[in-house]
Structure 1
């Protein structure tokens, strides 16, 4: 063995890393490598850019009694992250935390992965521990989880506000915010609005919601620009949105923050609308550089974007009631029905798929959930199990995860005393088939504390009733906002007990379920939720009211946008609008 190690070491020193690795791998196939040889192999793989393979080797070395276990696990974790395999780094992060509970990288990876594992029991313990630490003001706890992932499981606005971790940017300084607001600016005759996002493609949820509203913007009332730093793959996947608005798209993708700032300033934008907040790919430093006199948070992040310099958040009276005021630095611009835009023009309305096509029985009551598994918290799990126990012959049809995640979920179901055969994992479907499959269920059960957002509006669009309950922060109140905007407040439970009771009542009353579906079918084309044109008018009023305050030298402050008169006749679904022209 020593001769092989010496030969491999010489190859390594000569930068012949592939030969060194192959020699050691051949030796390992015959006899397990010593710690020295294992480390040499791991270093060779690192030099070759094979980060994932190197990570596994360092993790293997960590089990050697002679190794520095903490160092080996740290290297394994770092390399797995370099390989963009955060999910596979979970075991390394967990083992490293056992040795070093204050390891920030390990803690961040552990929490990130935990949301995607469907491990109800471990999440229950970890969430309780992190909640207690946040409540105690623990700075380490506040820095290990990003704000969006905190919303998946924590419905406490004070604790949401305590999170300090930011992705890809630094928090704004109050003096910079004041300087931005005081900078001289000449407002135009109509609002000049810039929407900023890296999701400007109709295959992304943001544009799937917003595109109809953008098409209905009145060119006499608003001049808008789409400031884009969307990845090429997402651009290529677009089915028409970018082509319709090609004249309004300004590409920032390859610009520095300073150059992007100057370009937005040169456009004379009155209002910059940040569609990202604390979500993946957010350009926080650009927003915080203050390119517009008025800056607005909208749609991407369901809560106060701590550290991001926006004057207003476009919300509504359900998702941001007066009790939320202490937890926001943004002023509330309350849209009159729901904050969420929806597309009545381009969103597909495919014919429903049959239960037979989906492998579901015709003679069983089917509850469902299509929310991401990141939202299936212990709180959600407990409520779902209570409903299943109270409706013994029912099934739960849900979007699962990988095989490991599904197995962990089924284990928790079994321990809860529910037959695992009553859980049916939905296969991966195309977007059209995803929509077409929704009506096959009898009733959708929401997730808590982070409710359905785009998924809830999709289900309502396809005629599937969604049962939710009142929440305690923006993210937990979205389904309620949508249900009220479509005229179905009876599907909003007051609390957990009421949620279970309503689920049971609806399960036992097929006629009531039919009446709700018929009401939803009628309301879809009459109530505000899916009225893109109405939402466009409300946004235009909101922008004009913001500018009027600024013209008068007034600081941003909470205000409510007056509603357009109610419709007396249904609007048309799928009626194409011409792209707004300046």
Structure 2
């Protein structure tokens, strides 16, 4: 819908209500209305139109995945297992709906395999492919001319992508590389926006341009290597990359899975996150960073002591488990483990991010159903990046989610000196926290199953000396290991860029 492209959701909603009146039996109309509600964060309102879409088209892959995602964001788990089972069956059988694709991003937080994620991504990519294949542009650089690297994203604002990438952009050697940013959503204002724009020699606002025009601009700028920092996330404009505006195109940071395309040459990763046995589930060639795939803006941790527990609304003497992941990552299986941990560790509390009133109420209701006092769940309000990172230090142990684990939130915790435990599976989204623990020298905190994860959490919560030793190692390792050494990361990144440019297009 044109209105959705320009983010005029009120106009889009009005258009779709009229379309419902004219074509009440078209599931696409109802699914699109549900999407408009989701984009406005009206999650409860989205349930009705998505349910109507599925009543008309029970195997509509988009409506199924979006409805499951809505339930996960609301932490409204009734019927969620059935939705997940229907999605799994549909992924196995293949959908014959020519008008709907799986929501590829939403699938990452559901119990899916790498092969299923690849199938869904390939299906979505087919809808983006131009009618006629577009060849690689012929770009070369004269002796002494710098290699041009472009970064395209809708997230040049106070967003996790900037939290991770900012310091890297600032550290890249401008004698060797010329940096371009293409903002596909209106750029941020204020201090964050100013810092982002200063990090690039060329910051181009293309938010009002068509896909074709953006691709043409990138070609005219003679970009050698182009980073897709969105993938299939919210506000992404993936059709730009299907037009092949740069000779080398890299899937990086924003979408931690394959994009299933023929026009992304590489995925930026590391050998823990994407081990060689899993490469067959990626259409991109792995571009392995030597230590970890994630950079980090280490300047975001404010100087001085962290906030007190009282300032964070936490009981002074309690053992504080925490998880600041988004609500859609919290699934019933992992939450059940957390409730058993609260039962096993007297006077403990669980500190979560307050993502919405509804999610908070539903999680407290689930806690009560598990026999846990709902007041032992404490919710942290959203605050600025620096304040949020600093408050991690008030907790005792970060508990990761599964299958979509902590990414930027793991980086926040480790930067603040908070130990975390994770459960690494076969999907890339489940392995990012483990990659960071490996890079900071704490691989013992990586588990590979729920029983091991639960046992490790109990052990750390009931053996203060052991947890203290991990906290001390973490503090020491922050200064001596690769995870937060951005000077080293920048040199590794520069070497990788030069290497793939010299090698040319992969076969």
State TM-score, norm by structure 1: 0.77
Equivalent of 1:135 in 70, 83, 92: 92
Q: How far is 1:273 from its partner?
A: 1.3
In the alignment, structure 1 residue 356 sits paired with structure 2 residue 310: yes
Render the CA deviation track for 1:429-475: whole Å, top value 9, x for unaligned: 33333223211111010000011000000011011111112221111
Q: Over the residues paired in the alignment, what is the CA RMSD in angstroms? A: 3.3
Does 2:148 correspond to 1:198? no
In 1, Cα distance between equivalents of 2:129 and 2:54: 35
Unaligned runs of at least 5 residues, structure 2: 1-9
Match of 2:441 in 1: 487
Match of 1:428 in 2: 382
Aligned residues of 2:302 and 2:390 also touching (Cα < 8 A): no
Cα pair 1:89 1:109 within 8 Å, conserved: no
The aligned counterpart of 1:156 is 113
1:418 corresponds in structure 2 to: 372
Gaps of at least 5 residues in structure 1 are 1-47, 62-67, 558-582
In structure 1, what is the Cα distance between the partners aligned to 2:28 and 2:241?
34
**Alpha carbons 1:194, 1:269 under 8 Å: kept:** yes
Q: Deviation of residue 254 (structure 1)?
A: 2.9
Equivalent position of 1:324 in the other structure? 278
1:81–1:331 CA distance, 2 compared to 1 (3 A): closer
Of residues 403-412 and 99-108 in structure 1, the stretch that sits farther from structure 2 once superposed is 99-108
SS in 2 for 1:120: coil
Checking the alignment, whether the CA contact within 8 Å between 1:365 and 1:395 is kept in structure 2 is yes
1: distance between equivalents of 2:14 and 2:207? 29
State which drifts further: 101-110 or 259-268: 101-110
Matches within 5 A, 1:392-403: 392-403=346-357
In the other structure, the counterpart of 2:184 is 229
Q: Normalized against structure 2, the TM-score is what?
A: 0.87
Alpha-carbon distance between aligned partners in 1 of 2:293 and 2:83, rounded to the nearest angstrom: 33
CA contact (8 A) 2:324 2:353 kept: yes
Residue of structure 2 aligned with 1:547, choices 498, 501, 505: 501
Give me the whole-angstrom Cα distance separating, in 2, the residues matched to 1:102 and 1:143.
12
- 2:6 is matched with none
CA deviation string 1:365-420 (max 9, x = no partner):
11011000010012322332332333243211111333322222222223333332
1:263 maps to 2:217: yes
Residues 120-151 of structure 1, C-alpha deviation per residue, up to 9 Å, x if partnerless?
34322321232232123344599454111110
1: CA distance, partners of 2:46 / 2:184: 31
Larger Rg: 1
Would the alpha carbon gap of residues 53 and 282 (structure 1) be closer, same or farther in structure 2, given more than 3 Å must change? Answer: closer
Superposed, which structure 2 residues align to 1:51-450 within 5 Å? 51=13, 85=40, 86-93=42-49, 95-96=51-52, 99-102=55-58, 104=60, 106-107=63-64, 109-140=66-97, 143=100, 145-164=102-121, 170-172=127-129, 176=133, 179-180=135-136, 183-189=137-143, 190-201=146-157, 203-232=158-187, 234-236=188-190, 238=192, 240-245=194-199, 247-307=201-261, 309-349=263-303, 351-450=305-404
Q: Give a deviation string over 1:302-342, Cα, whole Å, max 9, x none.
A: 11112362101110001111121111110011101100011
353 and 166 in structure 1: CA distance in 2 versus 1, 3 angstrom threshold: farther
Structure 1 contact 277–308 (Cα < 8 Å) conserved: no
CA shift for structure 1 position 98: 6.6
* Distance across 1 between alignment mates of 2:51 and 2:27: 8
Q: Structure 1 residues 392 and 119, CA, compared in 2 at 3 Å: closer, same or farther?
A: farther
Q: Which residue of 2 aligns with 1:20?
A: none
Contact 1:284 1:308 in 2 (8 A): no
* Residues matched between the structures, number: 493
TM-aligned CA deviation for residue 292 of structure 1: 1.1
- Deviation of the 1:155 alpha carbon: 4.5
Partner of 2:451: 497
Superposed, 1:489-528 pairs within 5 Å as 489-528=443-482
Structure 2 counterpart SS, 1:413? helix
Contact 2:186 2:205 in 1 (8 A): no
The residue aligned with 2:4 is none
| 2:506 is the alignment partner of 1:556 | yes
Tell me if the contact between 1:172 and 1:308 (Cα under 8 Å) persists in the aligned partners. no
Label 1:95 to 1:272 Cα distance change in 2 as closer, same or farther (>3 A).
closer
Query: Take 2:246 and 2:54, find their aligned partners in 1: how far apart are those partners?
Result: 47
Question: How far off its partner does 1:70 sit?
Answer: 6.3
Structure 1 residues 518, 293: closer, same or farther in 2, change over 3 A? same
Classify 1:308/1:253 alpha carbon distance in 2 versus 1 (closer, same or farther; 3 Å): farther
C-alpha displacement of 1:255:
2.8
Distance 1:251 1:110 in 2: 33
Q: Which SS does the other structure have where 1:116 is aligned?
A: helix
Q: What's 2:3 paired with?
A: none
Structure 2: distance between partners of 1:380 and 1:176? 44
Which residue does the alignment assign to 1:30?
A: none
| SS across alignment from 1:467 | strand
- 3-state SS of paired residue (1:162): helix
Q: Secondary structure at the match of 2:480?
A: coil
